[in-house]
A = this chain, B = another copy of it.
Amino acid sequence: MQKECIDFIQKTIEKYDYDGCVIGISGGVDSAVVAALCCEAIGKEKVLGLLLPERDSAKNTLNDSVDLCNHLGIPYKVKKISKILRKTGAYALKPPASIVPRKIQEKYVKDKWRDLPKEDTFIEDLEDRGNEEFLKGLAFYRIKHRIRMCLFYLEAEQRNYAVMGTTNKTEMLTGFYVKWGDDSTDIEPIMHLYKTQVYELARELKIPDFIISKPPSPDLIPGITDEFALKVKYKDLDRILMKLQKNRDLDDEKPEDVQRVKQILKAAEKRKIRNLNVLGDD
């Protein structure tokens, strides 16, 4: 698993004559794995970590990310993007959260998320559908990853570096990413791996435990973790996705989980084709 990824990164960097690569380090397992793979592929001095926290990032995001960069021995840059986001007007869409203690913020957001109409927020998100307040929430959180993408390229292009993607197969299949945000990259070295496989790889690569053990979260809205939004555990999600992919029997799976996964896959169709409709391309 490891060797295939490393070879792919090496080959692609060489093919396009990049002088190195840029990776957005989020403190999560996917970016940690991609960074470690890149170190193996092209040497750590050519791997630039970019740490772009903002107003609503979890408290440990920045520390964990710095610690990871130090663990890997890669150069990194920290840039708080709150001021940029403020200038775009995005923060005005949601009340300033910084004066409220984090725990209360998280509880408030979770309660709101649960209370939203139809009570199936992630499906509505995938379908860009909901009431006015919900749509504002979509615009509010998605611009964060898009602005990050802009900054990854600003740094990468100055150095003739590639922008590395960190999206895995589970996220890609379920639409768990921001269109023209974290999906907009030069090279995607783990998009063939399910989330649970990324964890296996993380262990192989000796990614530190403070990264591996924390609950995966997009870190865009306080309190919303991946599994909270997906409403199914990655372990179960991946197993069902694999069975669906291989046309295997689903009789021993919980019917409500299978139902949920199918519902997500259907709703994700819109985002999966990236919703780019080109006249003449049918």
Contacts and interface: CB of A to CB of B under 8 A. Distances in A.
Interface of A: 4-5, 8, 12, 16-17, 79, 83-84, 87-90, 93, 128-129, 132, 135-136, 138-139, 142-143, 146-147, 149-151, 153-160, 165, 180, 184-192, 270, 275-281
B187 A184 contact: no
Contact of A186 (B147, B151, B277): B277
Listed from nearest, the 5 A-B pairs whose CB atoms lie closest are A192-B280, A139-B157, A180-B184, A146-B150, A188-B278
A277 B188 contact: yes
Contact of A135 (B129, B142, B159, B276): B159
Contacts of A277: 8, 12, 186-188
29 contacts: A5-B279, A8-B277, A16-B275, A17-B129, A83-B87, A84-B87, A87-B87, A88-B150, A93-B158, A135-B158, A135-B159, A143-B150, A143-B153, A146-B146, A146-B149, A147-B147, A149-B180, A153-B180, A165-B276, A180-B184, A186-B275, A186-B276, A186-B277, A187-B276, A188-B276, A188-B277, A188-B278, A188-B279, A192-B278
Greatest chain B CB density within 10 A among A88, A155, A189 is at A88
A121 to B, nearest CB: 15
